Structure 1
């Protein structure tokens, strides 16, 4: 069996990596997403992890339903959290926050300790100060959130469920707790490749540090493409990696997907960003059409312009049946 482990962020990326390696005759490398690989570790060591193939994953929709059904049990203080007619929206935000805390390996006890320490400090200050009032309100609200976090974790334990984030965090906990299991995987995978490195979060980096004590790690990523911050992507992951290993940095400057005008515009937009690692990006493709920046007065105007533009493109190139892709911020 291959001693090469390849990890990436999405199933699509894992599939593409597998296809490319197969073209070069490499068929026995272990290629997986972080979550699928972590779930495999938990299942292979079910005696120690307490999780097996029959363990069910609680989906996002089921999490929200559970929150709504248990609202009365949370005993919220209406001075700091009033659900009103926004239950779904508020619980979705709370569940997203729970996910972020888990990705940072912060338990409900850790959150509560942070709340108690800060409220104690605030009690020693003048309660009439605007800053004190604002911070006190914030930590009181956070305390209401933590009621849900505590209850949610208790529910998962009671029903022997896990959520998406638990695949990672429980794997980290298992590898830290059991040196024999950790050693087995360290010996099994002597070389580790991580793709889309910029999209990984703190807990995923912890798995790398645990498995990659040998230092044979190749991390491929681009901090300019860090698009998963809303899912907890760790913005300082490259600096953390460099401080953890003695490594060489290889800059891949050529862009194979875009024409020259797109790459030039990308450079113009990215270069002014402070603390950004400077890169010399270029494209060997043709110059391409000039990029148009359109500003409309209203959202409806933006929709109308987009629809009209698509209709013009289709009308102009009807015989070619053009494919048009429209990207938007959610």
Structure 2
């Protein structure tokens, strides 16, 4: 209806030979076949007309070219003789202020940006272009173009005028961070992409802790305890508990010579697991004392004191210490709020309760986008808490939720089998359907073996059968063998 009306307006202007000086808002509004109340404004310049209305899509017309252009994101670009005649977007930044590279004669929107958005499907584009001031949850099923959508979201943040250095994108692996940066760089250029902070949770928190190390009782050159150092600190904490010692903690660990009672060594594994779980859940020694677990409280307290005396943090301290900085030091909180004006989080289903709490603190401005799928949560052993989706819905009540259900990666047989299997998970947050346009592909074969040897023999035979029948010769690089434990690799 809107498109037909525009063509009618264009025809009227030609029929009556209306010049730009004669054009006025009343003339065109009177000629429209749609409700006048739906019109926000009419812009006229050099024989071209553009209207901004309350409902999408917004369309512009160039009189000479007669071309209808879909103007994304509420902007109307009227192109006349290869140059920008006007922009109908009110309150938007000038092109030079955008965080995107501009090319000549492109108008108010970079060509590569629009091309990228047009490469997305409708749901992906809706997610990428959603209002940046509204918290956004993207539930992305497997193979649904999650990374492409996240890149589109970051591009929209840049287009809305958020400087690249004020955008924080959280991923779970350095490989994912590198891939996202490369894709963004292909659109906006490597220089702009390099300014965006794309980091893992622990890398981001490590940098925050080093910047404010003195507030944590450390120097900026603090060391990071690995598993072996943690184990020795646990053993020393046991000895301190046993003998009631509290002095010379740092020297006690540094001068550790292996001459420790076997009972301490035997218990070290148990207490290391206890300390890890306590830190993953953000538990302090005082909380264990309230529960009546005085031994656990003492072990945890001694362990923390040892790390302070040795100018060290362990892996789990990164998240907890960052939360401490944000909650106990207002100047750090204000600094982070001013710096990280927009946050995008990948693999949200794998965040722990403490990581979610950190995100909630950082995103008090509501400029946050989370991307994940509760069906793909596989890191509960590492503290991942899939209930974070429900927490997000509760803590950001005005959020928008978009689901990406179309699988571009897998065959129909795999999609249907996976969907049937996951329906048996009674703890799912929401039931959702997966769909694909891909062919059915080969059926899934289930082979039950009665011994480890027969299982290995079956795998070997299958590899030989697959590679021998290949017309391209033996390409072992197309075969993947998955196993539950690393020891099974041998």
TM-score in terms of structure 1 length: 0.82
* 3-state SS of 2:406 partner: coil
Structure 1 residues 17-96: aligned runs within 5 Å? 17-25=180-188, 26-27=192-193, 28-68=195-235, 72-75=239-242, 87=265, 91-96=268-273
The answer for the alignment partner of 1:195 in structure 2 is 346
The answer for the alignment partner of 2:481 in structure 1 is 326
Report the CA distance between 1:111 and its aligned residue: 2.0
Report the CA distance between 1:193 and its aligned residue: 0.3
Q: Flag the 1:86–1:65 CA change in 2: closer, same or farther, 3 A.
A: closer
What is the CA–CA distance in structure 2 between the aligned matches of 1:4 and 1:269, rounded to whole Å?
38
1:250 maps to which of 402, 427, 434? 402
Query: Is structure 2 residue 465 aligned with structure 1 residue 312?
Result: yes
What is the CA–CA distance in structure 2 between the aligned matches of 1:242 and 1:96, rounded to whole Å?
32
Report the CA distance between 1:147 and its aligned residue: 4.5
What is the CA–CA distance in structure 1 between the aligned matches of 2:481 and 2:262, rounded to whole Å?
36
* 3-state SS of 2:322 partner: helix
Query: Is structure 2 residue 299 aligned with structure 1 residue 299?
Result: no
1:108 maps to which of 277, 282, 285? 285
Report the CA distance between 1:68 and its aligned residue: 4.7
Structure 1 residues 135-214: aligned runs within 5 Å? 144-214=295-365
Q: Flag the 1:84–1:307 CA change in 2: closer, same or farther, 3 A.
A: farther
Post-superposition CA distance 1:59-108 (Å, at most 9, x none): 012222444566554439xxxxxx979946x5345323322221211012
Q: Flag the 1:97–1:13 CA change in 2: closer, same or farther, 3 A.
A: farther
Query: Is structure 2 residue 173 aligned with structure 1 residue 10?
Result: yes
Q: Which is worse superposed, 262-271 or 61-70? A: 61-70
Post-superposition CA distance 1:148-188 (Å, at most 9, x none): 32332121111111001111100101110111210111121
The answer for the alignment partner of 1:283 in structure 2 is 436
Q: Which is worse superposed, 93-102 or 29-38? A: 93-102
Report the CA distance between 1:112 and its aligned residue: 2.7
Post-superposition CA distance 1:221-271 (Å, at most 9, x none): 010111111110112100001101021111010122211111111100011
What is the CA–CA distance in structure 1 between the aligned matches of 2:281 and 2:239, rounded to whole Å?
29
Alpha-carbon contact 2:167-2:340 (below 8 Å) kept: yes
Gaps in structure 2 of 5+ consecutive residues: 1-162, 244-260, 486-490
Alpha-carbon contact 2:352-2:384 (below 8 Å) kept: yes
Higher relative contact order (CA 8 A, sep 6+): 1
Post-superposition CA distance 1:294-328 (Å, at most 9, x none): 11223333233223322332333371413221111
Post-superposition CA distance 1:183-208 (Å, at most 9, x none): 11112111110000011111111111
* 3-state SS of 2:402 partner: coil
Q: Flag the 1:254–1:87 CA change in 2: closer, same or farther, 3 A.
A: farther
Q: Flag the 1:239–1:63 CA change in 2: closer, same or farther, 3 A.
A: same
The answer for the alignment partner of 1:272 in structure 2 is 424
Report the CA distance between 1:275 and its aligned residue: 4.1
The answer for the alignment partner of 1:135 in structure 2 is none
Gaps in structure 1 of 5+ consecutive residues: 77-82, 117-141
TM-score in terms of structure 2 length: 0.56
Alpha-carbon contact 2:411-2:438 (below 8 Å) kept: yes
* 3-state SS of 2:365 partner: coil
Q: Flag the 1:296–1:112 CA change in 2: closer, same or farther, 3 A.
A: farther
Report the CA distance between 1:146 and its aligned residue: 4.7
Alpha-carbon contact 1:197-1:222 (below 8 Å) kept: yes
The answer for the alignment partner of 2:414 in structure 1 is 262
Alpha-carbon contact 1:42-1:52 (below 8 Å) kept: no
What is the CA–CA distance in structure 2 between the aligned matches of 1:22 and 1:235, rounded to whole Å?
32
Alpha-carbon contact 1:5-1:29 (below 8 Å) kept: yes
What is the CA–CA distance in structure 2 between the aligned matches of 1:297 and 1:84, rounded to whole Å?
40
Alpha-carbon contact 1:199-1:227 (below 8 Å) kept: yes
